[in-house]
């Protein structure tokens, strides 16, 4: 299945510390985009009402998630704790701290994964991390959602750079940024810790704002909406 690693322990990521960074400058942005429609999917801010859908999705994928993501070792999470987590995700959206989206089918009756557009790398940068339901891998969904949020980061959030980090052993994950025109800048040795507690390497893939117009992400047709339902793209 597709898995990408990111920094704090969320539904999309594993904890890593790279240091202290400034929060992004949000003064010139039109967003955030609370809802994004792609060709096949809906990406939107989590709400507490999604608790049963996300619990079902995690339960169906737990064996696969535990192989890659440390937070999955603490699942299944109590219902009250999961509701509180989803409330925090919504609060982070509202306060422009971080952006974690649910990945839904078009009628929003099933969770197909989760994806984050994270702010933790500092001002002018977004990092994408995600997981996709095991029953929906090898269908291009990871590429579709990553392309959509790359477009959101560049067009709406006006970022200078978007990054994707992944385990070098996760060949499927590394294929996604490669398909989207990202550059493999480095493989950082022993930079993060695996769920088994072992040090592992991390690949860093980057797309710059100047490269975005000619990238596959720019040619994708998406719709993005703000918190009031006003269309941004």
Query: Per residue in 52-80, pLDDT tens?
Result: 999 999 999 999 898 878 889 899 999 99
Helices and strands (DSSP H and E) totals, the chain: 4, 9
Checking if the pLDDT of 5 tops 90, the result is no
**CATH no., domain 35-159:** 3.40.630.30
Domain ranges of the chain: 35-159
Rounded CA-CA distance 162/207 in Å is: 5
The 10 Å Cβ neighbour count of residue 1 is 20
- Give the per-residue pLDDT at 28: 52
* pLDDT bucket at 121, cuts 50 / 70 / 90: very high
Task: Read off the pLDDT of each residue in 186-196 and give the average, rounded to a whole number.
Answer: 91
Strands laid side by side in the 99-105 sheet: 183-193, 199-208, 161-166, 125-132, 111-118, 99-105, 41-45, 35-37, 223-225
Checking if the pLDDT of 130 tops 90, the result is yes
Report percent pLDDT > 90 for the chain.
78
Mean pLDDT of the chain: 90
- Give the per-residue pLDDT at 183: 98
pLDDT in tens, 90-103: 999 999 999 999 99
- Give the per-residue pLDDT at 13: 53
* pLDDT bucket at 195, cuts 50 / 70 / 90: confident
pLDDT in tens, 31-49: 899 999 999 999 999 999 9
Half-sphere exposure of 5 (CA within 13 A, CB side): 27
Task: Read off the pLDDT of each residue in 194-204 and give the average, rounded to a whole number.
Answer: 91
Rounded CA-CA distance 113/102 in Å is: 6
DSSP assignment string, 146-162: HHHHHHIIIIIS--SEE
């Amino acid at each position: 299945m597709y898995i990408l690693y990111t920094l704090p322990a969320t539904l999309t990521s594993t904890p890593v510390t790279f240091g202290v960074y400034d929060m992004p400058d949000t003064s010139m942005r039109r967003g955030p985009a609370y809802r994004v429609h792609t060709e096949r999917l809906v990406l939107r801010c989590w709400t507490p009402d999604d608790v049963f859908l996300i619990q079902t999705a995690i339960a169906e994928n737990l064996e696969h998630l535990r192989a890659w993501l440390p937070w999955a070792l603490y699942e299944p999470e109590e219902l009250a704790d999961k509701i509180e987590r989803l409330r925090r995700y919504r609060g982070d959206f509202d306060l422009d701290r971080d952006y974690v989206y649910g990945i839904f089918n078009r009628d929003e009756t099933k969770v197909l994964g989760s994806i984050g557009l994270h702010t933790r790398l500092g001002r002018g940068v977004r990092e994408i991390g995600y997981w996709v339901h095991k029953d929906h891998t090898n269908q291009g969904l990871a590429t579709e959602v990553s392309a959509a949020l790359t477009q959101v980061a560049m067009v709406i959030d006006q970022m200078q750079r978007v990054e994707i980090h992944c385990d070098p052993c996760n060949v499927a994950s590394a294929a996604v940024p490669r398909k989207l025109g990202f550059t493999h800048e480095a493989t950082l040795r022993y930079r993060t810790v695996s769920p088994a507690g072992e040090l592992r390497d991390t690949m860093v893939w980057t797309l710059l704002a100047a490269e975005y117009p000619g990238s596959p992400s720019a040619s994708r047709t998406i719709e993005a909406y703000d918190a009031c339902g006003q269309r941004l793209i």
